[in-house]
Amino acid sequence: MTSFEALARVIIETGGRVSGLTADEIREITLGQGLDRLPARYEEYLRFLGGPKSFSLIAGIESYPYLVELKDEARALLESEGHPELLPDTAVVIGIHGGYAVHWLTDAALDDPPVQLYEEGDAGVAAEWPSFTACVEEHARVAGLPWGSSPG
């Protein structure tokens, strides 16, 4: 499995900026989202790329400190759209883009959970990736960054 530390190096080598989070900041996000833990792969990502000055591969993927209260914002959006059932209590909300699209990890108990995307006006989940790592790998390929598994 490719490390997010390696991705951070690739981003720096291609002229991007990265900053990571401390254990205390990660704990603040965990508690702010009403959870006991975050998925291991997402924690690794936050340690290397979760800081406020980091390059973001995925539109709307948030950094600290916005992640702390993001779950409440996502719940409000999904409730206003009539789809509160899409976001389980075990989810980790990782981004909101433009106030109309929400990305979340489906289950904080998994080490590398699936990622789901909801876009305003949809009848349900608009897109899904089999894991957080796969989601980041896809977006790295789209951005032209040499990181992750080969497609196919």
Return the pLDDT at 60. 66
Q: Residue 65, preceding bond cis, omega within 30 degrees?
A: yes
Q: Flag whether 80 is in a domain.
A: yes
Query: Can you give the CATH number for the domain in which 111 is found?
Result: 3.40.1580.10
Domains of the chain: total: 1
Count CB-CB contacts under 10 A for residue 28. 16
Q: Flag whether 68 is in a domain.
A: yes
Q: Flag whether 134 is in a domain.
A: yes
Which residue did the predictor score with more confidence, 59 or 47? 47
Q: Flag whether 62 is in a domain.
A: yes
Domain that holds residue 40: 4-142
112-131 pLDDT, tens per residue? 999 999 999 999 999 999 99
Which residue did the predictor score with more confidence, 65 or 86? 86
Residue 152 has pLDDT above 60, yes or no: no
What φ, ψ does residue 142 adopt, rounded to 5°?
A: -60, -35
Q: Flag whether 43 is in a domain.
A: yes
User: Edge to edge, what strands does the sheet with 101-105 contain?
Assistant: 92-97, 101-105, 115-119, 127-129
Q: Flag whether 148 is in a domain.
A: no
> Among the listed ranges 45-59, 66-80, 84-98, which one has the minimum average pLDDT value?
45-59
Return the pLDDT at 147. 81
Q: Flag whether 50 is in a domain.
A: yes
